[in-house]
Structure 1
Amino acid sequence: MENSPQTNGYTSLKKEISQLLIAGREQAGRAVNTILVQTYWQIGRHIVEFEQGGEAKSEYGSNLLDRLSRDLTLEFGKGFSRSNLFQIRNLYINFPKIQTLSGQLSWSHYCEILKSDNELEISFYTKQCQKENWSVRELKRQMKSMLFHRLALSKEKEDILLLSQKGAEFLHPKDLIKDPYVFEFLGLQNQPTYSEGELETQLIQNLQGFLLELGKGFAFIGQQYRISLANRHFYVDLVFYHRILKCFVLIDLKRGEIDHQDIGQMNLYLNYFRKEENVEDDNPPIGIVLGAYKDQILVEYATDNISNQLFVSQYQLYLPEKEELAHELEKLLSKE
């Protein structure tokens, strides 16, 4: 039995109303979040001004937060623990101008970001959350993997300051590269041995986490992408397309140390893609050879005079040591 015009009309009506309700609830949620963050900022300002006359770096009495927590909880219920009041106070200290607060970020985002005590790092993660629309879970992962430090250590001092102010920007092929990449989400660090095939399979099975680690703009094209030359077949482990840089990105995975032959093979892949796969609007492809180890001198000699955009980087299966990366970044920033 066919649906009557009246039934079809009702289905359409219900769909339109449902879409309006969903959109309205999302807008209301964003509005409530914005008001909540701004209210907490105002509370933080009052606390700081009461304690120090507006001097955020002065000493403050620890008893004030205890007393406020007790009294506000009695009057308004949950949400005013001493730790939460400390975060509210911290919000104002790190964002002294209310205009710098983002309506895209929830209070939970700010709570995670403010766990850092580094001004540059706080600014970077705030900008990056806005750019890439990270969930709180994604933000936690990026902060644990020390994304800011890993990006910053490959840059000059002026570029680090720019990174903290604007977030990661993909203007040049080298902007894509991290060293190291962190694949802790695969769980392979608990396995004594694994093959390159297992590493590749795990990355594809955890594609969402892999794309988050790669960064914004990557679209997955294929795995074991076949290249045929002179009746011989070659296979690129992973092929992506970067929609911002408008180019193919080829990734070859090596379980152990990267050899000069791996670099030569990637150069062959890049030449093939540039001549056979690129279309008119595509930029030259980018190649990344990823291994567990690399010899810097060998890499330097193997890549010298290569005209293609070819990069060699490391990956690790565990989260990096925060203290070590922080120390290296501090040394870099302290250089004249």
Structure 2
Amino acid sequence: MTNNLSNTKFFSQIVDLLLSAKSNVVRTINQTMVTTYFQIGRMIIEEEQDGKDRAEYGKGLLKELSKALTKEFGKGFSVQNLERMRLFYQTYSISSTLSRISEKGQTQSNEFQNAEQQNISVNFNLSWSHYLKLMRIEDENERKFYEIEAAKNNWSVRELERQYDSALYTRLALSRDKEKVIELAEKGHIIEHPKDAIKDPYILEFIGLPEHSAYSENQLEEEIINKLEHFLLELGNGFTFVARQKRISFDDKHFWIDLVFYNRILKSFVLIDLKIGELKHQDIGQMQMYVNYYDRKIKLEDENKTIGIILCQNKSEAVVEFTLPENNEHIFASRYKTVLPSKEDFKSLIRKQQNI
């Protein structure tokens, strides 16, 4: 038997088991803590409802509770944190089971308490820090969307903040009808058709290039590759990187596609061309050529048609409309921003998109 266990499959399996167990322990602790805070919030609400003068009684209740809990358990139970727990319950007590409140003086049975505890645990899959961020989102549909996406994509709190600050929900909702917007809130970002994977604009603030500076397309590409993990998050679900500056050749002529990805959900290659400044009709024609080549020479029979995305700083909707065929479903032109827009800039982008 070898003494060098570090290279054996046996050792790797043990390491994987321990890492999985550690992850599960952390997840269980987070879930238990969030569930407990929800329960505390509910109990505070119930106790306040028993007070004659709710405002004054509630204010005094939280102070006394904070003092008692801090003495018993230490930090973490300030009046502000207790107010957050109360708000957490008010925000998330939606389903009939979770929002049921005992009548005054009536004790719930152990059976109902256990069932309630299980339902709460199923619903809360993020950390307390995530929920502190989510509770600040006023629109319920928007909040539900970010909660689903954070859990589904394992977003850190920092990534959740980044996606919210870049208005991901709004950017996706712009290209959807009312029914599809509701679906965003109920199911998150579901990709079924090529257009579902497209955003306009793409926010590339993570690459560190200033807006409207004299950088080249090569510099833009280089910075995207250096921050590929961030770019994949911005692209969305199912994207994997394939190549950069992919050469295609025919008739003794050579062409280079800036970036090539593959989307596992759509089972399609995704070609991305980067353009500085205003989009020209020649850029769209070039992308059409790239897509045709991949469809005829590269993709397999069981794969779907290739998708082309041209990222540009600015575009004329009329140029896009009249250059592409009426039934186009696979070539898209989207703007990109290298600086996170302000709220006013986002409003301006939305008005332009909706032709207001």
Q: 1:274 to 1:36 in 2, by over 3 A?
A: same
Q: AA paired with 1:282?
A: E
Distance 1:148 1:261 in 2: 32
**2:3 matched to which residue of 1?**
7
TM-score (norm 1): 0.87
1:269 to 290, 300, 309: 290
**2:331 matched to which residue of 1?**
310
**1:173 matched to which residue of 2?**
194
Give CA-to-partner distance per residue, 1:153-173, whole Å, 9 cap, x none.
221122111111110001000
Give CA-to-partner distance per residue, 1:41-83, whole Å, 9 cap, x none.
10111122233469xxx97855554444344323321112333
Tell me the secondary structure at the aligned position of residue 256 of structure 1.
coil
Distance 1:292 1:246 in 2: 28
Q: 1:17 to 1:299 in 2, by over 3 A?
A: closer
> Is residue 257–residue 292 contact of structure 1 (8 Å, CA) maintained in 2?
yes
Tell me the secondary structure at the aligned position of residue 224 of structure 1.
strand
How many residues are paired up? 324
Tell me the secondary structure at the aligned position of residue 20 of structure 2.
helix
Q: 1:103 to 1:215 in 2, by over 3 A?
A: same
Q: 1:267 to 1:329 in 2, by over 3 A?
A: closer
Tell me the secondary structure at the aligned position of residue 123 of structure 1.
helix
Matches within 5 A, 1:204-243: 204-243=225-264
**1:26 matched to which residue of 2?**
23
Q: 1:67 to 1:296 in 2, by over 3 A?
A: farther
**1:72 matched to which residue of 2?**
69
TM-score (norm 2): 0.82
Structure 2 runs not aligned, ≥5 long: 99-118
CA RMSD of aligned residues (A): 2.9
> Is residue 52–residue 59 contact of structure 1 (8 Å, CA) maintained in 2?
no
> Is residue 149–residue 325 contact of structure 1 (8 Å, CA) maintained in 2?
no
Tell me the secondary structure at the aligned position of residue 171 of structure 1.
coil
> Is residue 211–residue 338 contact of structure 2 (8 Å, CA) maintained in 1?
no
Matches within 5 A, 1:84-103: 84-96=81-93, 97=95, 98=98, 99=119, 102-103=123-124
Q: 1:288 to 1:68 in 2, by over 3 A?
A: same
> Is residue 194–residue 307 contact of structure 2 (8 Å, CA) maintained in 1?
yes
Give CA-to-partner distance per residue, 1:227-258, whole Å, 9 cap, x none.
11211111111100000100000111111011
Distance 2:348 2:282 in 1: 35
1:45 to 42, 52, 56: 42
**1:163 matched to which residue of 2?**
184
Distance 2:6 2:169 in 1: 52
Structure 1 runs not aligned, ≥5 long: none
By how many angstroms is 1:275 displaced? 0.0
**1:82 matched to which residue of 2?**
79
Q: 1:161 to 1:226 in 2, by over 3 A?
A: same
Give CA-to-partner distance per residue, 1:243-296, whole Å, 9 cap, x none.
010000011111101111101110011100000001121100000111010111
Q: AA paired with 1:129?
A: A
**1:201 matched to which residue of 2?**
222
Distance 2:224 2:166 in 1: 17
2:291 aligned with 1:299, yes or no?
no
> Is residue 166–residue 340 contact of structure 2 (8 Å, CA) maintained in 1?
yes
Q: 1:275 to 1:143 in 2, by over 3 A?
A: same
Q: AA paired with 1:140?
A: E
**1:118 matched to which residue of 2?**
139
Q: 1:235 to 1:69 in 2, by over 3 A?
A: same
